[in-house]
């Protein structure tokens, strides 16, 4: 799952249990919808990306740099993950919001596409609830 700074889901994906998390980074980044603004220059994507140490590699950093992202990824064995921990609770909270829906807590579907559909619906409902709360 990829979310913005307030925890609103931007992109969700499902992968196999035996697949490393870093392989899902590129499809998630490509899945971010365009961000529109009413005034000023139009931004297509968020500017910064915060991620766990698992996503640190020269290939990923170069790929993100090409797309205009500033990557905030702690280097394994060199930097502490504590600085990123200040921001990690937002994504953990977003994941908890998604798994608050009963259908997603235990995976009943045999096909990943069905589970992804329910996950997308949960993300849409979460976005709606957050944006409705901001509008009132």
pLDDT digits (tens, 9 = 90+) for 67-103: 888 888 877 777 665 666 666 777 788 888 888 888 7
Give the model's confidence band at 18: pLDDT under 50 very low, under 70 low, under 90 confident, else very high: confident
DSSP string, 4-31: -TT--EEE-----TTS-GGGGHHHHHHT
Question: What are the backbone angles phi and psi of residue 123, rounded to the nearest 5°?
Answer: -65, -40
- How many CB atoms neighbour CB 85 within 10 A? 10
pLDDT of the residue at 62: 92
Mean pLDDT over the full length of the chain: 81
DSSP string, 31-85: TPPPP--SSSSPPSS-SEEEE-GGG--HHHHHHHHHTT-EEEEPPTTTS-THHHH
Sequence ranges of the domains in the chain: 2-44+83-135
For residues 87 and 46, give the distance between their C-alpha atoms in angstroms, rounded to a whole number: 16
Q: Which of the pair, 82 or 112, is modelled with greater confidence?
A: 112
pTM: 0.70
């Amino acid at each position: 799952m990829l979310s913005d700074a307030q925890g609103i889901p931007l992109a969700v994906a499902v992968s196999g249990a035996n697949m490393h998390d870093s392989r899902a980074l590129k499809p998630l980044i490509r899945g971010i919808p365009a961000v529109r603004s009413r005034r000023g220059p139009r931004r297509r994507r968020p500017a910064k990306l915060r991620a766990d140490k698992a996503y640190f590699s020269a290939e990923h950093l170069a790929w993100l740099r090409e797309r205009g992202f500033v990557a905030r990824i702690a280097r394994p064995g060199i930097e502490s993950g504590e600085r990123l921990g200040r921001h990690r609770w937002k994504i953990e909270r977003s994941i908890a919001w998604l798994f608050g829906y009963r259908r997603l807590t235990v995976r009943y579907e045999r096909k990943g596409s069905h589970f992804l559909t329910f996950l997308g619906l949960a993300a849409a409902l979460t976005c709606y609830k957050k944006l409705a709360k901001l509008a009132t």
